[in-house]
């Protein structure tokens, strides 16, 4: 059997060639394109698993730009974004970070979950995010000017309850904000069907189940089931797992550890299938 050859790409060569499946919810595509055309950075707000990252892939495909995603975490320093010196064969060489690569290549740089990054790190994007559109590279003593194709986007979940993880006003006020939430029932059903291949009746029940868990938000659940979780459950069902089991493993256990809540959620799924 011939082994499938895995592609190895540099970040700025990562063009999305096949159209990612995305169902527009409102006018987000128009707004994004208008912002892009005007060189404005974009902030995606919304709960986890509602399609923010998929939307970015879709837009990258639409605009035919490479997509460079940085998943932010609390150890992310500004040199991780901008670049650093390395020693190679007795010489010191400069290596661009993902942000600098995206600027040079005129790509789309997507900072996922940006509040997770340290506050001093988020500040380095400020000059890029306003009308200057430059990335200062302090260590080189250079200013990197962004081409018109370059686009900066980041995502943020406003539902987190940590005072340490709030987006500074000076950062957020530089962005055009797009709000995402879970798609309407009929659309969500279509998405679940398309992503997993299960039949419409099952998809409809799954969406109904998601709404039940969303009713419980604030009553003991931090978040209801996301579209992503629904797709996971649907894929399990498509592979022959019983619906109740799929809901338990892919959704209920992912939502909570609380025993009472788990049994309530499991009862809800059992009542539907």
Partner 1 sequence: MDVYLDPALSSRRTAAGPASELAAFPAREQGFVLHWGAVIARDNAELAYQFTAFAPRGLRLMDPDAMESWLLYAMDLYDKKGQVPAIRAFQDVEGFAANRQERLAGIVLEDISGVLERFVCGLNGRALRIAVGERCHTDTETIFLPGVVGRLPEKEANFRLYKAMTVHQWAQGWYGTWRGNVLLDAVAREELSASAVDLFHALETVRLDACIERDFPGLHRDMQALRLALDTQLQAYAPDWQDIVRPLRDPAARVRDSLALWADLSGHRAPPCCYRGELLPEAVRARMQIRAALDRDSFRIALARLVEEQDKQAPGEDRPDAETLPETAARLGTRAKEDPDSPEGLTYELFLDGKPVAPPEDVVSTMESIIQDLGEIPPEYLVAAGPGLYRRGLGSEGKDADSAWAGTYHEEGAFAYDEWDFSRQHHRKGWCILREHEVKPAGLTFYHATLRKHGGLIKSLRRTFEVLRGEDRILKRQPYGEDVDIDALVEAYADARVGLEMGERLFTRRQQDDRNIAVMLMVDMSGSTKGWINQAEREALILLSAALETLGDRFAVYGFSGWTRKRCEVFPVKRFGEPYDDLAKGRICGIEPRDYTRMGAPIRHLTGLLRAQDARIKLLITLSDGKPDDYDPAYRGEYGIEDTRQALFEARLDGVHPFCITIDETGPEYLPHMYGAANYVLVADVARLPAKVSEIYRRLTS
From 30, 173, 181, 215, residue interacting with partner 1 (rule: CB under 8 A): 215
User: Looking at beta carbons only, is 70 or 221 nearer to partner 1?
Assistant: 221
Q: Does 267 bind partner 1 (CB under 8 A)?
A: yes
Site for partner 1 in 80-109 (CB under 8 A): 84-87, 92
From 123, 143, 177, 270, residue interacting with partner 1 (rule: CB under 8 A): 270
From 212, 241, 245, 254, residue interacting with partner 1 (rule: CB under 8 A): 212
Site string for partner 1, 26-65 (x = CB under 8 A): ----------------------------------------
Site string for partner 1, 179-198 (x = CB under 8 A): ------x-------------
From 130, 160, 176, 254, residue interacting with partner 1 (rule: CB under 8 A): 160
From 16, 40, 167, 216, residue interacting with partner 1 (rule: CB under 8 A): 216
User: Looking at beta carbons only, is 69 or 121 nearer to partner 1?
Assistant: 121
From 104, 126, 208, 228, residue interacting with partner 1 (rule: CB under 8 A): 208
Site string for partner 1, 111-150 (x = CB under 8 A): ----------------------------x-----------
CA-to-CA separations, 78 to 66, 91, 197, 207, in angstroms, rounded: 22, 23, 42, 41
Cβ-in-10-Å burial (0-12, 13-18, 19+) of 261 comes to middle
**50 neighbors 182 (Cβ within 8 angstroms):** yes
Site for partner 1 in 236-255 (CB under 8 A): 244
Task: Pick the stretch among 29-37, 53-61, 161-169, 172-180 that binds partner 1 (CB under 8 A).
Answer: 161-169
Q: Does 21 bind partner 1 (CB under 8 A)?
A: no
Q: Does 164 bind partner 1 (CB under 8 A)?
A: yes
Q: Which residues pair with 70 in a beta bridge?
A: 111
- Taking the complex as a whole, how short is the minimal distance between the CB of residue 159 and partner 1, in angstroms? 5
Cβ-in-10-Å burial (0-12, 13-18, 19+) of 169 comes to exposed
Size of the site for partner 1 (CB under 8 A): 37
The three-state (H, E, C) secondary structure of the chain, written as one string = CCCCCCCCCCHHHCCCCCCCCCCCCCCHHHHHHHHHHCCCCEEEECCCCCCHHHHHHHHHHHHCCCEEEEECCCCCCHHHHHEEEEEECCEEEEEECHHHHHHHHCCEEEEECHHHCCHHHHHHHHHHHCCCCEEEEHHHCEEEECCCCCEEEEEECCCCCCCCCCCCHHHHCCCEEEECCCCCHHHHHHHHHHHHCCCHHHHHHHHHHHHHHHHCECCCECCCCCHHHHHHHHHHHHCCCCHHHHHHHHHHHHHCCCHHHHHHHHHHHHHHC
Which residues in this chain contact partner 1 in the complex, by CB under 8 A? 79, 84-87, 92, 139, 158-164, 185, 208, 211-213, 215-216, 218-220, 244, 260-261, 263-265, 267-273
């Amino acid at each position: 059997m011939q082994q499938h050859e895995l592609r190895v790409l540099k970040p700025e060569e990562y063009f999305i060639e096949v159209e990612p499946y995305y169902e527009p919810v409102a006018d987000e595509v128009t707004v994004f394109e208008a912002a892009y055309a005007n060189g404005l950075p974009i902030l995606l707000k919304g709960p986890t698993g509602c399609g923010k990252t998929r939307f970015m892939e879709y837009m990258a495909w639409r605009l035919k730009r490479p997509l460079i995603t940085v998943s932010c975490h609390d150890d992310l320093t500004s040199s991780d974004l901008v670049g650093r010196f390395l020693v190679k064969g007795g010489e010191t060489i400069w290596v661009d970070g993902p942000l600098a690569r995206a600027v040079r290549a005129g790509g789309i740089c997507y900072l996922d979950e940006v509040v997770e990054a340290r506050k001093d790190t988020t500040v380095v994007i400020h000059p890029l995010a306003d009308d200057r559109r430059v990335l200062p590279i302090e260590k080189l003593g250079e200013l990197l000017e962004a081409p018109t194709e370059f686009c900066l986007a980041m995502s943020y979940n406003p539902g987190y309850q940590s005072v340490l993880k709030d987006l500074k006003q000076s950062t957020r006020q530089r962005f055009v904000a797009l709000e995402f939430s879970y798609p309407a029932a009929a659309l969500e059903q279509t998405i679940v069907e398309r992503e997993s291949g299960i039949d419409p009746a099952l998809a409809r029940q799954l969406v109904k189940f998601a709404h039940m868990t969303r009713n419980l938000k604030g009553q003991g659940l931090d978040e209801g089931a996301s579209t992503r979780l629904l797709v996971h459950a649907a894929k399990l069902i498509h592979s022959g797992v019983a619906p109740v089991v799929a809901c338990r493993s892919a959704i209920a256990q992912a939502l909570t550890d609380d025993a009472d809540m788990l049994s309530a959620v499991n009862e809800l799924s059992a009542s539907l299938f």
